[in-house]
Every structure is written in C-alpha cells, then in structure tokens.
Amino acid sequence: MDSNFLVVAIDGGAGTGKSTTASLLSKRLNFLHVDTGSHYRSVTKHLLDNEINLKMLDSYFDQNNILLTSKVDENRSHLAINGLVYASDLLRTAKINQAVSNCASNPKVRQLLLRYQREQIYVARSENKSGLVMEGRDIGTVIYPDADLKVFLVADQKVRESRRIKDGEVDQIASRDQLDSSRSIAPLKESGGSLRIDTSLLSVEEVYVTISKSLGFS
C-alpha cells in the first residue's frame, strides 16, 4: 500500500471499544472513519422497513437495484442506501441489535457491502485524508488483509456489557458475538499479524497511544 496513506483495520466483538478508538484516531490523524457495523445495521433497517425477511432476500436483491453511496461528515463516512442515511439512534435499537447478526451472515448482504467497503479507500483519498480507519469483524481478515496495521480489540464480558448499559442500549452482546464468530462467511476472528489490545482496563487515550506508536507516531 502507498506509504503516505495509511490503512488501519480494527476488529473485535461488540463493546470492545472499536468505535471510540476509531473515532479518536480519525480525528487526531485526519483519517476517514468507516464503521462497517453501521453498514450492516443500515441494510437490516432497510430490509425491516421494506418488510423483507431473510427468505425473501435473494429475490429482493435480484429484482431491486440497491444503490450504495457515501456521505462524508467531517471524519466519518456514512452509508446511504438509495440516497438515505439512517440516523444513528435508528440503527441502535433493540430490534436492530437483535436482527443484525442474522442479516450479516447472508452471503448476498456481505457481497453487496464488500465492494462498497473496499471502495472507501477512494472516498478517503478524494477527501484528502491521510488514511482510513475501518472497524468491524472481518476488516483484517477479508476487507483489507494487507492493511498497514491490523488491530484486534478484546475486553472482559462484564466490561463490555456495562459499556452498552452506559450507552442506554439493549444488546445481547454474547449471543451476537457467538453468531458473528460461528458463521461460515467472514466470521469474527483475529487476523494473523494483528496488534491485540485488551481494552478492559485501558482509557481510550491509552489505546490511542498504543496504536499511534505502532503506526510510527510518537
């Protein structure tokens, strides 16, 4: 990859601190922040709103043109489905939390988003960013296996649950992680060569320092 432009892949289970970390990195280092969990949440919301269940999904995708575009707001890239960006509170409801893992295990959904996610590098460059930080479950293993830095975040179950409660969310993170780690396509798993960080007892600042040092910033 171009040495002047850095790609950082951050993977990990729910509540491990991916978004907080990616957000701080993007602000400090002028990177584009792409939260791929929000992509799966947006597709889930789109399907629920259109009353499409998983059995109808293949024919729905064959018969309907789903246009995916990006809207950049400061350091963040947001997915627009047929021109519509869903507000983040609409994507973090108990209903979406409950449905998103099943939707994300569908091959057509993953195929649709894979190309879109790989193209985010061009979005970042066109926005004159110094790099791209993409977070999710399969960024280091599938989307950007040759990223300049791959980070795998972990944290104690209790800490992760308390983070969700603090955010006011109803989220069964253990069952979501189980589904995300055991699916056949692009399961959540640590990519070889990842920097593994346990965020249970670390502040976001400490996580940031560890990552920025690995990127060569002091």
Nearest-angstrom CA–CA distance, 95 and 93: 5
Of positions 10, 99, 121, 136, contacts ligand DC by CB under 6 A: 136
Among the listed residues 31, 39, 34, the one whose alpha carbon sits nearest the alpha carbon of residue 10: 34
Nearest-angstrom CA–CA distance, 73 and 80: 12
Q: How far is CA 216 from the centre of its chain?
A: 24
Which helix (H) or strand (E) element contains residue 196? strand 195-198
Which neighbouring-strand residues pair with 131?
6, 31
| Using rule CB under 6 A, residue 100 touches ligand DC | yes
| CB of 145 or CB of 209, closer to ligand DC | 145
Among the listed residues 15, 186, 181, 31, the one whose alpha carbon sits nearest the alpha carbon of residue 113: 186
CB of 80 to ligand DC, least distance (A): 17
Of positions 104, 124, 151, 211, contacts ligand DC by CB under 6 A: 104
Which helix (H) or strand (E) element contains residue 91? helix 88-91
| Using rule CB under 6 A, residue 17 touches ligand DC | no
| Using rule CB under 6 A, residue 101 touches ligand DC | yes
- Residue 40 and residue 109 in contact, taking contact as beta carbons nearer than 8 Å: yes
CB of 38 to ligand DC, least distance (A): 6
Of positions 45, 78, 176, 199, contacts ligand DC by CB under 6 A: 176
Q: Which range of residues in 23-31, 46-54, 135-143, 191-199 is near ligand DC by CB under 6 A?
A: 135-143
CB of 141 to ligand DC, least distance (A): 9
Q: Which range of residues in 25-33, 96-104, 148-156, 200-208 is near ligand DC by CB under 6 A?
A: 96-104
SS3 110: helix
Residues 6 or more apart whose CB falls under 8 angstroms from that of 74 comprise none
Q: Which range of residues in 82-90, 99-107, 162-170, 195-203 is near ligand DC by CB under 6 A?
A: 99-107
**Footprint on residues 26-45 left by ligand DC (CB under 6 A):** 36-37, 40-41
Whose tokens are 């629920």? That residue is: 48
| CB of 41 or CB of 46, closer to ligand DC | 41
CB of 15 to ligand DC, least distance (A): 8
How many of the other CB atoms lie within 10 Å of CB of 55?
A: 8
Q: Which residues bind ligand DC (CB under 6 A)?
A: 14, 36-37, 40-41, 100-101, 104, 136-139, 176, 180
